[in-house]
Amino acid sequence: MPLPSLAGTLGPKRAAHLLHRASFGPTKEQIDSFATLTVAQAVAQLFQQPLPTPLAPIDPLTGKERAISGTTTANSGDSDLQEFFKGWFLAQMMSTGIPSGQALAYSVREKIVFFIHTVFTTIQSKVDNSRSLYFQNQLFRLYAFDKTAGTKFNFKELSKKICVDNAMLKLLDGDLNVKGSPNENYAREFHELYTIGRGLEGTLPVVTDPGDYFLYREVDVQAAAKVLSGWDIDTTFANIDPDTLLPRGIVRGSKTNASSHDNSSKQFSDRFNNSIIQPNPALLSGGNATEASALDEISQLVEQIYSKPETAMNICRRVYRHFVYHNITEALDTTVIAAMADTFKNSGYKIQSVLEDLFQSQHFFDAASGVDDDNFGAIIKSPLDLMIGTMRFFEKTVPDPQSSASQLYTKTGAMVTELTSMGMHFYEPFDVAGYDAYHQYPIYHRSWISTNYLTSRYDFIRMLVSGDPMSTDKIDVVNFIKIKIPNVTASNARDLIIELAKYLLPLNDSLTYDATQDDASGLTAERMNYFLTAFLKSPQIDTDPEGSWTFRWNNPVDPEVVTRQLESLFNAMMQSPEYQLF
């Protein structure tokens, strides 16, 4: 059964909540537009329109793409091309060059691409190949909007494709897994991290058998490693998957004689009903394994894993932690997560169907009558969400990936450095489980915050608001207010703060400066008065600070003071703990 749906129109707070979680961030106008929609109308706009496929990254040294057609001695070095790929992906997250009517939905798709990357992780330094990174990214993009992509596209099928993806083969030593000398790295992580998992964290029983992982056993890892044996990285990228039309790995030997694939029967444990995976005789060639028979065994393995209800539960927990909140109680697991898993299975394992149902649900907004706690401001923004979301809100762009590739990579190179300073090593997580914030029990997204990381977050905001006035990144706060906020609101200091809070802060109901009315307010009166004080302080002493602001705003007699006051306000609001949440 689908989750109960939210009734009525969204309103600004819920619209902002949906768009911040589902995409890499909205503009003020997009929040205002979505505030008038029902949740069904909103989700339809985000998920159900055709979107262009991004053109491949350009190598500025040649002015041509190099990912699809391949590199030559004229191209940049591959280490540079890897960095260019990351910059290109950041440009996709920002919907660079996409028409305004499609930009938000495009950003939603790119956020799902990134989500899949956090599940089927890769590590740049281990893969060390720009084309492998690019084609894996394209693979994820094909499966992001899988509900509308056709019957061949769903998360279960993606789980099959990723097994022979060139980047994944390199990351987890799949290219070293051969008959007679199995390498179990990928088989182990495929069970533990990518599919069935090991149950709900915090509820697992004490291990009494070192070979028992609750939902599978060591013997299952060993058998799966044999199923996955015999593949190699295709350095030519010429072996094309007929479903995705993207390159994949190759079998060792030849397509008609996969000589390094273990062609024996693979016995699994009681966790999988003592099943046996064996080659399909019709796909063998003179009794020898073939590419087709090896792929069929992988399909059998994935079907076996997905036949277990816990696989859908585990994947839906990953969805929930990424888009809603990290803490999943047993009660939540048996209700909300179970309902998401039902949607996942009933849709044919479509991740888009799960997300559409989740984003339309009352639970996503925790808007039920009598609910005291809610999901607004429950997640610490990742450095990526903070950076891209802030830039998108203030309509800061990056150079076009096709016409201004060199300028783009200069800009995005600085962005990657900034992400690192804030704690996200983009495409370089510390281990094969991925970025700690998306999997590490029990801290999850709290891993984004340390004293140094928080300082870097605040520095990022400070440079945008109060940095070099010649920088194209600097926010023109005066112009922003003039364009975005009605003058009658902008000229009243208290009203201006309340209005900005609707878009900048996740908790913004019934805001007040009166401590006696705190109970109904989304923020404390103390916090609101802190913003007010930061805003109204000026180089000279005003006997009537609020009246002076109104006069200065309505009369262009002291523009420098107006600028400094607004910069102080934006710095106070955006360097607050509340802005670090969404």
Mean pLDDT confidence for 344-369 = 91
Beta strands in 215-273 (DSSP E): 231-232, 250-251, 266-267
Q: What is the mean pLDDT of the chain?
A: 95
pLDDT in tens, 205-240: 887 888 999 999 999 999 999 999 999 999 999 999
**Residue where the block lists tokens 């962005």:** 415
Report the chain's terminal Cα–Cα distance, integer Å. 28
Q: Could you give the maximum distance between any two Cα atoms of the chain, in Å?
A: 95
Mean pLDDT confidence for 18-33 = 97
Structure tokens at 346: 């009933």
Q: Which amino acid is at 36?
A: T
pLDDT for 368 beyond 60: no
Q: Of 392, 322, 416, which is closest to residue 88 (Cα–Cα)? A: 416
pLDDT for 456 beyond 80: yes
Q: Of 11, 97, 84, which is closest to residue 54 (Cα–Cα)? A: 97
pLDDT for 145 beyond 70: yes
Measured CA to CA, the distance from residue 96 to residue 398 in angstroms comes to: 7
Q: What is the per-residue DSSP string for 49-80?
A: S--PPPPPPEETTTTEE-TTT---TTSPPHHH
- Report the pLDDT value the prediction gives residue 11, as an integer from 0 to 100: 95
- Report the pLDDT value the prediction gives residue 369, as an integer from 0 to 100: 45
Give the pLDDT band of residue 374 (cuts 50, 70, 90).
low
Residue 479 makes CB contacts below 8 A (sequence gap 6+) with: none
pLDDT in tens, 234-291: 999 999 999 999 999 999 999 999 999 999 999 999 999 999 999 999 999 999 999 9
pLDDT for 507 beyond 90: no
Q: Of 479, 496, 485, 482, which is closest to residue 572 (Cα–Cα)? A: 496
Structure tokens at 569: 């306000």
Measured CA to CA, the distance from residue 211 to residue 204 in angstroms comes to: 15
pLDDT in tens, 537-562: 866 678 899 999 999 999 988 899 99
Measured CA to CA, the distance from residue 373 to residue 214 in angstroms comes to: 33
CB atoms inside a 10 Å sphere around CB 440 = 18
pLDDT for 370 beyond 50: no
Measured CA to CA, the distance from residue 450 to residue 441 in angstroms comes to: 17
Q: Are 84 and 108 in contact (CB under 8 A)?
A: no
Could you give phi then psi for residue 231, rounded to 5 degrees? -105, 155
Structure tokens at 174: 């799949």
User: Model's pTM, two decimal places?
Assistant: 0.96
Paired residues of 361 in beta bridges: 5
Q: Distance from CA of residue 419 to its chain's centroid?
A: 14
Measured CA to CA, the distance from residue 415 to residue 101 in angstroms comes to: 26
3-state secondary structure of 76: coil
Measured CA to CA, the distance from residue 339 to residue 341 in angstroms comes to: 5
Length of the chain: 582
Measured CA to CA, the distance from residue 44 to residue 357 in angstroms comes to: 11
pLDDT for 503 beyond 80: yes
pLDDT for 373 beyond 50: yes
Strands 266-267 and 250-251: what pairing?
A: unpaired
Q: Are 446 and 380 in contact (CB under 8 A)?
A: yes
Mean pLDDT confidence for 441-454 = 93
